Chains A and B, each alone.
Chain A
Amino acid sequence: MGNLTEVSIDFQSSHLVFPTVIGCILAGLTLAILVTRRRQIAGAGTYWRRTLGDMDKTRLFGALALTVLYFTLMVPVGNIWPNTGLGFLICSVPYVLATGLLFMHDRDMRQILVMLVIALAGPTFVWWLFTEIFFLTLP
């Protein structure tokens, strides 16, 4: 019994010990989930079809697309004026405006104007606060 529980760890491969243990536990748990939830898994197609049918695809995927675009452009734009945080400011204004308009329900002129003011004032204030007051690096 003593030999069965004895463990010797080689320092050179010690970085793999714990990930292997956790990996094995995860594999075991995955198997248990597959066995005990096989009916739900088999019926997952219906669940995902219903979920996709119920979701507001425009707002969800629109928000995701805008966010990816925002992250992608921030650094290249910031590199034009390095160490000023202007990449953040210039990209944030249209991002806040576009996301706000995307999320808005009744898009009348008054609401759009309010959103425009917020999109200009919000990022500008935050940019000023973080770069001028807190001296933090922004893209």
Chain B
Amino acid sequence: MAETKTIEIECLRYHPGTDSEPRYQAYQVPFTEDMSVLQGLQYIKDHLDGSLTFRWSCRMAVCGSCGMMLNGIPQLSCHAFLRDYHPGRLRVDPLNHFPIMRDLAIDQTDFLRKLATVKPYIFPGEQKTPAQGEFLQTPGQMDDYYQYSQCINCLLCYAACPQYGLNPEFTGPAALALLHRYNADSRDAGTPERMEVVNAEDGVWGCTLVSYCSEVCPKGVDPARAINQNKINSTKDYFFRFLTPRGGK
């Protein structure tokens, strides 16, 4: 039997039906060396307070549901261990910059709407039937976008981005990284379809390269790079519109 210690976990609580603003509630949680923060929260829900609300699913940093602020840093709660916060106290907040629905669950509607605007799917340049074969790609061409395709939509990057907090209209890191993931794919011909989102004031130009998004990403995606490369593409697009008869298309 592994040694059990106790840690104080302080959670932000907000009940839309009864609270006018959020408050903190502290719990004493027994834990073992191998317990994640998510397991600590599950202990609270199972044994101390069944009303604590939070999202989770896979427990293995794949689904992107359990993002939270752990002592002020955006992290997947399944990807952080209670032992690393002991003997100190752990404060858990819902992801920054998003409206709180209840306790640690935020409203992701805004992101889901933005995700649809970047058209995150391949527009094939030429139509092919399966009989005509696959769209081929070299390892080098795959390397151009592979890292960006690892996004799990966990929204840690939005919680890390002060520009998104200050201006919720900003398209934001994950959506723009996914936009670039498709633009950078050699099989895709949809770049012109996505330039309007790139060029907008709230597109890539809403970014001031704080680059904390890339720092907190649990999957090694580099949204700051995707966005800032596209400032070059947006500038080119702007000038080519004047220089070419067909308006850069």
Is the A/B pair a real complex?
no
Chain B contact residues, CB within 8 Å of chain A: none
